[in-house]
Chains A and B, each alone.
Chain A
Amino acid sequence: MIEFVEITKQYPGSKIPALSNVSLQIQRGEFVFLVGSSGAGKSTMLRLLFREYLPSSGSIFFLGRDSAKMKPGELLKYRRRIGMVFQDFRLLKQKTVFENVAFALEVVGRSSQEIRLAVPVALAEVGLLDRAKAFPGELSGGEQQRVGIARAIVRKPTIILADEPTGNVDPENAWQLMELFTQINRTGTTVIIATHASDVVDRLRKRVIALEKGRLVRDEKRGVYGHES
């Protein structure tokens, strides 16, 4: 479904490329961890996947289509098939939990009736139906991230891209969040998570793509965070 062909990404003003000659394939319905130290290129990979940036060289294909050649309308449709989850949650503070999740549907022009039906389903999936009227400031970090996940899944995306989703939550909540991602993946959604949470990666034994200084150093089907001794 996703194919990186010899991707190099160099940011303007930087001497070292953020990604260097990376090639890989990700199939529909896969659960993938992107691991590596800070600055290894994990976030760059997610941003390239969202087509927030274009690669300096190489091509990224989505369902056989070169993402660099997508026309504006096509790009919009592509992005609407992706659910994004961020380390800092990126919830709108002045909106309630319900409104934050509804926002993902509002911006693509869904009717209020559809919103009234879909939002409670998404909130129930993440176990926050009873907090629908709360504001983000009234929630714990773990709860805020679950709202972020509800917002990402409410449109039933094909792919979930999560950048350090457990970075700002305690270990117990981190486990619950990973449980959620696993559940989402079971419904057929491709999940790609950039993370530092080694214990979670080690326990789940999913596909692990390891990056180091922008280079792909390891790609294991049922991998662990570090090298297996």
Chain B
Amino acid sequence: MNLNSFRYCLRQGAVSLQRNFWLAMVTASMIAVSIAIFGVFLLLSVNVGQVMQNIAGNVEIAVFLEDRADTNSVLSAIRGLSGVAEYTFVSREQGLVNFGQTLGEKDLFSVLAGENNPLPDMFRVRTLDATLVPTMAAALRKVRGVEAVDYGEDLVAQLLNMTRWLNSMFLALSLFLGLGATLLIVTIIRLSVMARQEEIGVMKYLGASNWYIRLPFILEGATMGLLGSLLATLSLGAVYFRLTSNLQNGVLPFLFRPVTEVAALWPMFSLLLLLGFFLGIIGSLLSVRKYLREVRRTA
């Protein structure tokens, strides 16, 4: 296709958009709604992911020592493990104080001091990465002098399950929304194709290439898609940053802070923009396909 043809296709795409202006606007708005909903779920997923990471990152391994264990040998064993971020020693006396403070019952526990203290000495170990927790816990269990290791297996398992479930739901919904938006574009472009059916017929007889016939519709669909996704991205971005700036003023604890770094969000917003654009192109290609099918030998 040469420059003259491309210019013609651009002009035709623009004329068609102008002719079906309101229909195009309705389509762009519907695409915007679909992409905005998709974006909301994407943002939710990013934020839930961050919260999960925060929680998982805060998982500590509690290493309980035997009554007469050699604290120094356990300590050197912990130091020898790779992936340890930090560790603290909590003596049985300190443990009792902490426990009392947590329950707010200082008096009751004063009787448990000294010889009556039921708590063992312990180490709190934090890993560099949450995924290292299970293997490190297993390694610590084998250290001589260690009686028990606990890191809240249930919580970690639940978090992983929840993330998995959320991701599947998110994927299903995305597919559903994507399909809906594509069907919408197909319908609108098909109306446009039908309005120009006579012209397409003449073009074929005049020896126009399929791409020449197709391109104006693709440009029309891509413009609608891009317009819709631009609208969705801008509104979503504005609402999200407004909302998160309100929430960030110290109301939420660290674990539940939303993602606000532009670096973390821009790939997501670019994806939304591209998605609208490609949905527009795919929808248009599907609409014109039927009209451009070449003849086959029939029996």
Contacts and interface: CB of A to CB of B under 8 A. Distances in A.
A80 interface: yes
Interface stretch (B1-9, B39-47, B140-148): B1-9
A90 B295 contact: no
Given A103-B202, A109-B2, A55 B297 contact: yes
Interface residues of B, number: 22
Interface string A1-17: 00000000011100000
B298 A107 contact: no
Interface stretch (A46-54, A119-127, A200-208, A219-227): A46-54
Interface in B181-223: 198-199, 201-203, 205-209, 212
A52 B4 CA distance: 26
Q: Please report whether the interface of chain B is mostly helix, strand, loop or mixed according to DSSP.
A: loop
A72 interface: yes
A5 to B, nearest CB: 15
A112 interface: yes
B193 to A, nearest CB: 15
B208 A108 contact: yes
Q: How large is the interface on A (under 10, 10 to 19, 20 to 34, 35 or more residues)?
A: 20 to 34
Contacts of A53: 295, 298
Nearest to B196: A92
A107 B295 contact: no
A104 B204 CA distance: 10
A27 interface: no
A109 B299 contact: no
A151 B208 CA distance: 14
29 contacts: A11-B298, A12-B298, A52-B295, A53-B295, A54-B296, A54-B297, A55-B297, A56-B299, A68-B297, A76-B209, A79-B207, A82-B207, A84-B206, A86-B205, A90-B198, A90-B202, A92-B198, A103-B202, A104-B206, A106-B8, A107-B5, A107-B8, A108-B207, A109-B2, A109-B8, A109-B212, A110-B4, A111-B4, A151-B206
Interface of B: 1-2, 4-5, 8, 198-199, 201-203, 205-209, 212, 294-299
Interface of A: 10-12, 50-56, 68, 72, 76, 79-80, 82, 84, 86, 90, 92, 103-104, 106-112, 151
